[in-house]
Amino acid sequence: MNNSPSQPHLLLVYPSTHKLGWARYFQLPSLSLKQVAAATPLNWRVTLADELHDTVPVNENFTVVGITAMTHQATRAYEIADAFRNRGITVILGGIHPTVLPGEALNHADAVVIGEAEPVWETLLDDLLQGNLQKIYRAPLPEGNRLSIPWARREIFDGKRYLTTQTLQASRGCPYDCPFCIVTPYFGNSFRYRDPDEIAAELQSFDKKLTIFLDDNILGDPERAKPILERMKERNIRWGGQANLRFAEDPELVRLVADSGCIGIFVGIESVTGLHANHPKTANGSSQSDLIKKIRDAGIVLETSIIFGFDDHDESIFEKTLRFLQETAPSLPTFHLLTPYPGTSLFKQFDEEGRLLHKDWKRYNHSEVVYHPKLMTPERLYKGWLEARQEAYSWSSIFSRIKANPRSLFTNLAYNILRKGPNDSLAKERT
Ligand code: B12
């Protein structure tokens, strides 16, 4: 690849509002930007500025700057975009927030990419070089169930330290459509899988063991997931990923996950009431407790994400949740505050009901209450969330979970200790 002054140069920016200290070395690099880099023609030079590690070089020159933004990053993304545009440098915004609110993003960008970069990025760069840049590049809504994506360009992470840069996707999309989630409304309800041979070839290119799948639901289609798990087992890979509890309804899949070098599965339990009418994920036949038990018995480390603040949650939800966690003992519970992200049906509902406290996007981060809960005050919800986190990571709770997970005792202990620190300091900082 040449590096001549005439070579077009793309700067990709991952905005961050806070510095993480040593914890930055345990983060995963942005797969979104890795894929944008992969879709960039090879005659372009590509540089990454990840604000967790780097200062964004706002005084340097680039042919174009591409910035990604989730909602909590949008305000910072706009600041960076404005700084470049004030110097006459072209800025493109993409990612979930600009996809949902392209009009807002266009106040800070020369063009916005709506949806996935792959189908439109090369055209955009050609238009730019020919002085014909359009304002909106809209990727068609994905269809069918085949996913073919260019291999990630991991060299953009060279020189930065992350937990691993070996992240990839086996699929995109999710078969469900939860009211608080943006994935299906904006990326369509097609669940697309890559060819197992293509995934195997990408895995083959990895030199270290630790690999993280960043799918919405890596086990969402058991018949497609199984061949991938077989290959990871053959290659002796250590891997983690996100799924849905219902994978435990298939005993063969559970066994395969356990045998395939899985270091942990993250699942959204969302609410232990499991009752809210529009929650399609909750058990069809088996209860959440049964499914957790099956996963635990197979020795799989399970991280469960709980959300507080649904409309059927009153003050008793905290106690009920802690009791549920004590009884079911998943390895690592995590707790989030319900956040109505723009573009979701939840956002529309709360906005129409006048329940949003503000639209200060940087505070839409799962750890602040940004709306009026139905059955308690925002303050009560916040306090309950903080206390639940603290209680779940008290030594007695940790030990009772570890006792219930004898097949992965040391891993569980290590993970829980790593989690306890940040939970304790958050509680200290905010109470
Ligand atoms: C993997 C993942 C994570 C990983 C991220 C790992 C990493 N560093 O890559 C982890 C677990 C760390 C994570 C954390 C969080 N996540 Co997350 N995550 C996802 C998930 C499941 C996939 C994202 C992904 O990488 N997809 C693959 C890439 C290739 O696709 P993509 O991001 O859509 O990018 C494509 C396009 O959007 C576009 N694009 C993106 N950026 C740009 C930029 C330019 C210039 C261009 C041209 C195009 C472009 O092109 C890309 C390639 O096609 C999504 C759900 C989803 N399906 O989007 C949620 C999601 C993005 N996360 C979400 C949230 C809320 C969070 C957290 C805030 C949750 C929390 N409080 O803990 C944190 C924030 C962490 C942080 N660093 O700030 C929300 C964001 C909602 C919103 N409106 O902001 C999502 C959409 C989940 C949801 N169901 O609502 N997440």
Using H for helix, E for strand and C for coil, what is the string for the chain?
Answer: CCCCCCCCEEEEEECCCCCCHHHHHHCCCCHHHHHHHHCCCCCCEEEEEECCCCCCCCCCCCCEEEEECCHHHHHHHHHHHHHHHHCCCCEEEECHHHHHCHHHHHCCCCEEEECCCCCCHHHHHHHHHCCCCCCEEECCCCCCCECCCCCCCHHHHCCCCCCCCCEECCEECCCCCCCCCCHHHHHCCCCEECCHHHHHHHHHCCCCCEEEECCCCCCCCHHHHHHHHHHHHHHCCEEEEEECHHHHHCHHHHHHHHHCCEEEEEEEEECCCCCCCCCCCCCCCCCHHHHHHHHHHCCCCEEEEEEECCCCCCCCHHHHHHHHHHHHCCCEEEEEECCCCCCCHHHHHHHHCCCECCCCHHHCCCCCCCECCCCCCHHHHHHHHHHHHHHHCCHHHHHHHHHCCHHHHHHHHHHHHHHHHHHHHHHHHHC
Q: Any residues with Cβ below 6 Å from ligand 1, and which?
A: 28-32, 35-36, 66-68, 70-72, 92, 94-97, 113, 116-118, 121, 169, 181-183, 214, 216, 341, 365-366
Residue minimizing CA distance to atom 16 of ligand 1: 70
Shared domain check, 267 and 119? no
Q: What pLDDT, in 10s, does the model give residues 257-268?
A: 999 999 999 998
Which pLDDT band, with edges at 50, 70 and 90, does 285 fall under? low
Instruction: Report the residue among 35, 110, 194 best suited for mutation to probe ligand 1: largest number of ligand atoms under 8 A from its CB.
Output: 35
Shared domain check, 123 and 171? no
- Residue 370 within a domain: yes
- Residue 3 within a domain: no
* Mean pLDDT computed over 356-361: 98
> Does the pLDDT value for residue 112 go beyond 90?
yes
Question: How many domains does one find in the chain?
Answer: 2
- Residue 147 within a domain: no
Which pLDDT band, with edges at 50, 70 and 90, does 2 fall under? very low
- Residue 144 within a domain: no
Shared domain check, 175 and 119? no
- Residue 72 within a domain: yes
Shared domain check, 410 and 356? yes
The domain that holds 103 is classified in CATH as 3.40.50.280
Å from CA of 93 to ligand 1 middle: 14
Which pLDDT band, with edges at 50, 70 and 90, does 274 fall under? low
> Does the pLDDT value for residue 60 go beyond 90?
yes
Q: Which pLDDT score is estimated for 431?
A: 67
> Does the pLDDT value for residue 80 go beyond 90?
yes
Which pLDDT band, with edges at 50, 70 and 90, does 277 fall under? very low
Which of 87-91, 188-192, 300-304 is predicted least confidently? 188-192
Residue minimizing CA distance to atom 56 of ligand 1: 183
Which pLDDT band, with edges at 50, 70 and 90, does 12 fall under? very high
Q: What pLDDT, in 10s, does the model give residues 180-221?
A: 888 888 877 788 889 988 998 888 888 877 999 999 999 988
Q: Which pLDDT score is estimated for 182?
A: 86
Q: What ligand 1 atom has the least distance to the C-alpha of 173?
A: 57
Identify the residue with better confidence: 19 or 99.
99
Shared domain check, 313 and 182? yes
Å from CA of 212 to ligand 1 middle: 14
Å from CA of 228 to ligand 1 middle: 23
The domain that holds 175 is classified in CATH as 3.80.30.20
* Mean pLDDT computed over 373-390: 96
Domain range spanning residue 71?
9-138
Q: What ligand 1 atom has the least distance to the C-alpha of 341?
A: 83
Shared domain check, 375 and 234? yes
- Residue 407 within a domain: yes
Shared domain check, 184 and 115? no
Residue minimizing CA distance to atom 14 of ligand 1: 28
Residue minimizing CA distance to atom 17 of ligand 1: 70
Which of 116-125, 220-229, 284-293, 366-375 is predicted least confidently? 284-293
Å from CA of 71 to ligand 1 middle: 10
Domain end: 120, 138, 156, which one?
A: 138
- Residue 252 within a domain: yes
Q: Which pLDDT score is estimated for 362?
A: 95
- Residue 203 within a domain: yes
> Does the pLDDT value for residue 3 go beyond 80?
no
Residue minimizing CA distance to atom 26 of ligand 1: 32
Q: Which pLDDT score is estimated for 282?
A: 53
Q: Which pLDDT score is estimated for 275?
A: 46
Shared domain check, 414 and 284? yes
> Does the pLDDT value for residue 411 go beyond 90?
no
Shared domain check, 196 and 63? no
Shared domain check, 401 and 309? yes
Shared domain check, 196 and 130? no
Shared domain check, 407 and 334? yes
